[in-house]
A and B are shown apart, each in its own frame.
Chain A
């Protein structure tokens, strides 16, 4: 393939964002929306060849693009994808389309800027997933925060300043140590190439320090316990689209970082610190599950549920078996669909009632039956019901956990009860029952646009649940290669 597909995946949405930005004020809001949708769809279109042209039989990087960028420090514009990252580029571009659609009516203020922020962020995030140069990765990693800050800060809720500052405090601390680690690796290898770093021989103690530095950056992003408290606040303040991107994509950046940096660069440290990572993951699964149960705000509840589900991801990574790592990646993708759908569903309700409080609802099924049916599907997916995508990753991770250690499996499997409890209890209080108040009585069922968005996600959730093989097929070789690499001592 002669086209620089990855560059297109990054720069098409960015360019589209700049064009949308050029439409200026809200007088051209309609044009801005249309252009944004066209840009997002074009962005999705250029990523599709990634999957269909992907060679699943090799663990090598594919579609590589290498150009010198800052030769003095051997920093290169180096892109490429393997079986692990390719799916996230597509997922990200897909979610962007939905986000543009989701904000179609609800966003009336600074429409062009809003859509531009999402498009630019989408491109930058594709950059993160395809960067193979440490500094390039870092630039994308940090730059992608700016649109997210803006989205929360400008279109967010009343407490957005606190949320944004909290977010900033957390990520700043992590990112700085990450940068230090990158510079150390450059000094040790004379290169910023991530692939070169993978082959680097490092002392055990150095690996531990590197691992911890990476951990600071990625754990905040995932987020892992105990650096997770920024997420519920960020979600609550973010507009629907912001929450969707945050949950579906941004949380995956940290998890992806573990696979691209922590495990291959510091494998011995990973082995050494397995107990810590598993313990933190299980706390996320169990403790956060209980916290979710106590939430009165729907968005907070789903935010905590996200943290709990991401606990499965990190748990899967650090059990270091093919089944568990692939299960974790599957869980990441599924969580992209399901959490996006959950936040979109809450957005549908919020757009109508301007409340996220569970107590303000009740009996929504009476006035919004179509919505209730779709929301039920996503709630069940969130609870990990078989035939939905939510089941696949959990199933794989739980099974590998039981093999790893019965009691770890036991703790992980408890999500089957807790996850169902908080999800269905929320669903019951919001959707079921007699009509709770006049506001609920006045609700109108979802529009065609809303139906289209949710139905697309429903197809993804069901499709992946019924036939996950196409998703895991592409990652087998890369995951095997990663695990083989991690299994070898590096010093």
Chain B
């Protein structure tokens, strides 16, 4: 794998940071250039064999050896397989229900018992993975990408763009979820998961944008960013190489938790009659149905909520591993 030449990777920021803790660095251009040379020649602190690596390939290298990453990746792979081929581990039909067995506990062949409608909880939990994971992952990706892009740019450049974006976000914060859901999803009538995904992205991006904006505002004050700027690095390079990697941690943390809350939000929407509709099966629908029966049939809640927990756990672990890999200080 050819490694691009990267003279000033953020991994070296420790080398520069102690020089000053206040204003911008006062380096003459020549001095800076010579410094750049020296740094570029020096072996990266983590690069094995003395080869300089890009930040991202470094991170990938780091990730592959992290057991947390391996476990979470396997778990996610398993969930994806189940989402695509649920019949692999569940032979029943999630829509086949027998009301006479309403809320009964586990029975032979039905290890998780039955829900209010007398449907098999195990089969529904397995089949619910598809819709729930699609909603959770796609909505999180959408909101995180859109939010961090807009928020990152706003925080980095400031000025009118920042003001406009922040105020638009404020308006979005004000829209009550229920009102937005009722309007958006009653106008867009479709039985697929995509309107729900779109709605959650629409609602979720302002939060991520604000988090990203805040992180970028802090990160761009760092001395190594000022140094890179003084060295003549362009805005794109500054953002991608120096600011983004140091601002990404809070976004990852929020996004991984949001994945879980988005799946739960889908439940709220279903509960209001505007979310996913039968014959779609989802954890959200089952959790919201089970929630009101918690005193009567806790097993109805336990399994879909447990499946949701495991999914969120996998993504939180993944997020942690990615974040660790991106942070050279933690190596």
The answer to whether A and B belong to the same complex is: no
